[in-house]
Copies of this chain bind each other. A is one copy, B any other.
């Protein structure tokens, strides 16, 4: 996808501004501006540069990643323009720089920048660029930090959410409850948004619901329960039926009545112990407020109605289900046995996996801290590397060698419909063709190579397909010992990389 942004002073040709108003051209590292000055001083600022944005390793010990954050990057460049007050601040921060540079800074936007990207929400793999960014080198450098900041966490938390979805299974309701533990306010807002992208059903975060149209969910907390002393706290005890045809004058008595009937019912005898009256008052009061969507938070006491927030969730959910079914049978309330059981309390991939193994009756999981802070691995290491300048390919020799050249990237599909391998080629090479045998090489390891006859070919940085999770071969996605998905380069690009590598590498001297 190529996005050429219009002059952004007033709003980038209709592209909305970044969701967070703090995402401005100053949200970058100072060295991007000092480099921009050095490029300008050297007369190189307009040199045509191509950068790859990619990561080197899948997170969470897995073998896949989901790409998130693209829309915000596009919003950012579509509206990229330094304001006068921003320029004044930069002048004070870089007092030795010449006036002409600040005039240049005032003039720049991203109208000459092209972004090629894999669609947001796609399954992606190490080394393959998620985005290719091309334009004047000084401008592209200014985009490095904001792009990384917008993509790194977004992709990390989307991946984390997708992993939770895979372990929980499709039929379960997944609720993101992480705002209070997220890393800062928009850590929370971004988490809600990208967890939804990664496969969650809803969030507790009202602001995210409003901004992104995500369904919002919530009931009540422990504080609500403990704010009640007893049933005397409930003043208005009337409750109308939902169609308005009928009115219960004393719902509190009705509740007490039913409590007595349940306690006496043959199949339930012995199930009930002492009832905590302040808890009963809180639940009754909440039911009066939300007669159509009652969900009681149960904690530290006997389980009843029900969000389970502590204790042995597998055991409690099974016992609760039994109790619901007994009520259904005893009193003939059709459907009561299937009533929703939500579980929360420091859940993560591992605990859900453990619950699955133990057997449980949970319908919905509320997940917070571990999900939104990506506790198991709190950062994704996306990088932004120069691969070409003025049509000259550049390679960075380091612990991780970058893949030079402006590239094209394809996903090759096999007979069973699964993706087999991603391949990167030089920009001018012909595209892989369906049914034609093609040599795919590991970019750095001479011995790793394979012929592939693709049954279907997708160009990655142009494609626009979603629903990727379902299309992957399951062994790539499993939690335990997943199979690495292969990423390769064409034979031609392989040869070129190694020519450049040898050319750039200094010859050491053993002393």
Contacts and interface: CB of A to CB of B under 8 A. Distances in A.
A288 interface: yes
Contacts of A299: 398
Contact of A189 (B22, B29, B229): B22
Contact of A285 (B18, B38, B157, B205): B38
A89 B300 contact: no
B38 A289 contact: yes
A168 to B, nearest CB: 21
Interface string A367-403: 0010001110011111011100100101111110000
A266 B245 CA distance: 104
Interface stretch (A4-12, A111-119, A179-187, A355-363): A179-187
A404 to B, nearest CB: 10
Contact of A301 (B233, B286, B506): B506
B506 A276 contact: yes
Contacts of A27: 179, 185, 188-189, 205-207
Given A189-B22, A218-B33, A210 B180 contact: no
A99 B288 CA distance: 16
Contact of A183 (B148, B153, B207): B153
A51 B146 CA distance: 38
A184 B231 CA distance: 46
A310 interface: yes
Interface string A6-37: 00000000000011111110111111111101
Interface in A134-169: 137, 141, 144-146, 148-150, 152-154, 156-157
A260 interface: no
A292 interface: yes
A43 interface: yes
For this chain, the copies found in one complex come to 2
A274 interface: yes
Contact of A206 (B26, B292, B397): B26
A20 B185 contact: yes
A367 to B, nearest CB: 13
Nearest to A374: B378
**Of A44, A141, A285, A379, which is in contact with the most chain B CB atoms at under 10 Å from its CB?**
A379
Given A51-B223, A226-B396, A386-B226, A29 B93 contact: no
A273 interface: yes
B96 A290 contact: yes
Contacts of A389: 226-227
Interface string A443-480: 00000000000000000000000000000000000000
B93 A216 contact: yes
Contact of A222 (B157, B221, B396): B396
Given A43-B236, A179-B145, A227-B49, A38 B286 contact: yes
**Of A209, A227, A392, A395, which is in contact with the most chain B CB atoms at under 10 Å from its CB?**
A227
A507 B28 contact: no
B506 A285 contact: no
Contacts of A291: 96
Interface in A35-81: 35, 37-39, 41-44, 47, 49, 51
Contacts of A229: 392
A42 B218 contact: no
Given A209-B30, A223-B51, A41 B236 contact: yes
A193 B158 CA distance: 27
B177 A29 contact: yes
B35 A153 contact: no
Given A26-B207, A29-B177, A29-B205, 16 more contacts: A29-B180, A30-B206, A38-B290, A44-B227, A49-B223, A86-B210, A97-B289, A144-B180, A146-B185, A148-B181, A149-B179, A149-B181, A153-B187, A184-B186, A223-B385, A369-B379
11 contacts: A22-B189, A27-B206, A29-B179, A37-B289, A39-B227, A44-B227, A96-B293, A149-B181, A183-B183, A183-B184, A227-B389
Interface of A: 18-24, 26-35, 37-39, 41-44, 47, 49, 51, 86, 89-90, 93, 96-97, 137, 141, 144-146, 148-150, 152-154, 156-157, 177, 179-190, 204-207, 209-210, 216-224, 226-227, 229, 233-236, 270, 273-274, 276, 285-286, 288-293, 299-301, 310, 369, 373-375, 378-382, 384-386, 389, 392, 394-399, 506-509, 511
